[in-house]
Structure 1
Amino acid sequence: MPKLPLICLTLLTLGVSVTAHSEEKRYVTDELNTWVRSGPGDNYRLVGTVNAGEEVTLLQSNPDTKYAQVRDANGRTSWIPSSQLTNQPSFKVRVPELENQVKTLSDKLNNIDTTWNQRTADMQKKVAASDSIINSLKAENQQLKNQLIVAQKKVSAANVQLDDKQRAIIMQWFMYGGGVAGIGLLLGLLLPHMIPSRKRNNRWMN
């Protein structure tokens, strides 16, 4: 007779509908630590707690009692209210991930800043070098202009000197030509007088 209540309790337990699941990851909600039980209901004894935010593996669930069977990181199997489970990773898991993402983004931003600063410095160096070359070319161009002005002045002075020499040569030719003409004219005037005088002298001598 004592075995009858035990058999009835076993049959009652087996009659409770249980939905089996393939093993899936779940996370305990980020509230206070949650008590877990030995079976799918509040009437089962407490067997311990799971930490808030802890990752567990969902084994099966009971939609009537709204309990789920889970296995924790230590391999312990127990039942927990389904409302205490969530599909989203807890803040305990997400915060480090977010911190790693923030660190990664910060490193990328720092690398971008460093790269940008280096490119800016290189561009400034190139601009400074270009300005130096441009200023050098401008100075050389101005020097050539000055040399051209000096050369043009020298050419003008040489042309003036050449014109003066040409004038002097022309005047000399005129003077020479005038002298020759004067001498010829003088000879032309004197010779007729000189020739008769010789003839006269010859006659007197005869």
Structure 2
Amino acid sequence: MLRKWLTVMMIAFSFQAFGLQDTPDLEPSSSHYIRDDLFVFIHTGPGRNYRILGSIEAGTPITILKNDRDAEFMQIRDHVEDRTGWVESKYVSDQMSRAEQLPIISQKLADSQASQQGLQSENGRLKRQLSEARQELSTLSSQTDEQSREIKKLSTQLDNQEKDEMIKWFTRGGMVAGAGILLGVILTYLPKKRGRNSEWV
């Protein structure tokens, strides 16, 4: 908060320094203001010896009606009380008064701080999302590694089963072949039966 008010005061002092400079050549228009003095007298004519109509407070917006660059006075119209008269040229500026600028600057500063807080909040949200995404990626990577190990394990088991099955088939084939050979040997050594015709000889 202290930094905020220091910033506002520095800007206000810069405007005051600008207001102390020589009065520029001002053309007739409505974008002008009474400088930041306490008040300025408005006269019925272009001089101090003319009757005073009243005073205009600092920062009051005015319209320049006539401006003689060689004269010390200019004709203006007061936007607040709708008066037409003459004021000293040195008290007229094309810059908005500090009294009117201060709320605008304060509002801009508040908006900037609110925007900064919003950006910080958004940045925090994005950081949380990034952290969650990284955690999810790490979890998925771990699951992928575990699935790869499981697939490798199942592939090894399948290969072993195929090898066992082949060994079983070879074993069974060998047994069948051995049984056939053994049966052939046994049949070879069995005595042959004599035919009926041999009994009459």
Same-fold status (TM-score > 0.5): yes
**5 Å matches for 1:66-105?**
66-72=72-78, 73-105=80-112
Q: Note if contact 1:60-1:69 (Cα within 8 Å) is conserved in structure 2.
A: yes
Unaligned regions of 5+ residues in structure 2, if any? 1-26
Bigger drift between 92-101 and 42-51 goes to 42-51
Letter in 1 for 2:49: N
**What CA distance in whole angstroms lies between the structure 2 residues aligned with 1:160 and 1:139?**
31
Instruction: State TM-score, norm by structure 1.
Output: 0.63
TM-score, length basis structure 2: 0.65
* Identity percentage of aligned residues: 16
Distance, in Å, in 1 between the alignment partners of 2:28 and 2:154 is 96
The 1:22/1:133 distance shift into structure 2, 3 A limit, reads same
Which deviates further from its counterpart, 61-70 or 141-150? 61-70
1:171 aligned residue (162, 178, 182): 178
Gap runs ≥5 in structure 1: 1-20
The answer on 1:150 being equivalent to 2:157 is yes
Deviation at 1:124, TM superposition (A): 4.3
Q: Is the 8 A contact 1:41 1:65 kept in 2?
A: no
2:169 is the counterpart of 1:162: yes
Please state how far the C-alpha of 1:83 moved relative to its aligned partner: 1.7
Does the 8 A contact of 2:43 with 2:50 survive in 1?
yes
2:58 aligned with 1:52? yes
Distance 1:176 1:64, change over 3 A: closer
Write the letter of the residue equivalent to 1:88: Q
- The answer for the alignment partner of 2:36 in structure 1 is 30
Q: What is the number of equivalent residue pairs in this alignment?
A: 171
Q: Which entry has the higher C-alpha Rg, 1 or 2? A: 1
Structure 1's 102 and 171: CA in aligned 2 closer, same or farther, altered over 3 A?
Answer: same
CA distance in 2, matches of 1:23, 1:174: 128
State the superposition RMSD in angstroms.
3.4
**Contact kept in structure 2, 1:27 and 1:88, CA below 8 Å:** yes
Give, in angstroms, the shift of residue 34 of structure 1. Answer: 3.1
Q: Following the alignment from structure 1 to structure 2, what is the Cα–Cα distance between the partners of residues 139 and 64? A: 92
Distance 1:33 1:150, change over 3 A: same
Larger % of helix: which?
1
Kindly indicate whether the alpha-carbon contact (under 8 Å) linking 2:32 and 2:61 is maintained by their aligned counterparts in 1.
Answer: yes
State whether residues 34 and 58 of structure 2, in contact with CA within 8 Å, keep that contact through their aligned partners in structure 1: yes
Partner residue, 2:71: 65
Deviates more, 1:68-77 or 1:140-149: 68-77
| 1:106-127 CA distance string (max 9 Å, x none) | 4444444444444444454445
Q: Using CA pairs below 8 Å that are at least 6 residues apart, which structure has the higher relative contact order?
A: 2
Between 1:98-107 and 1:123-132, the stretch displaced more is: 123-132
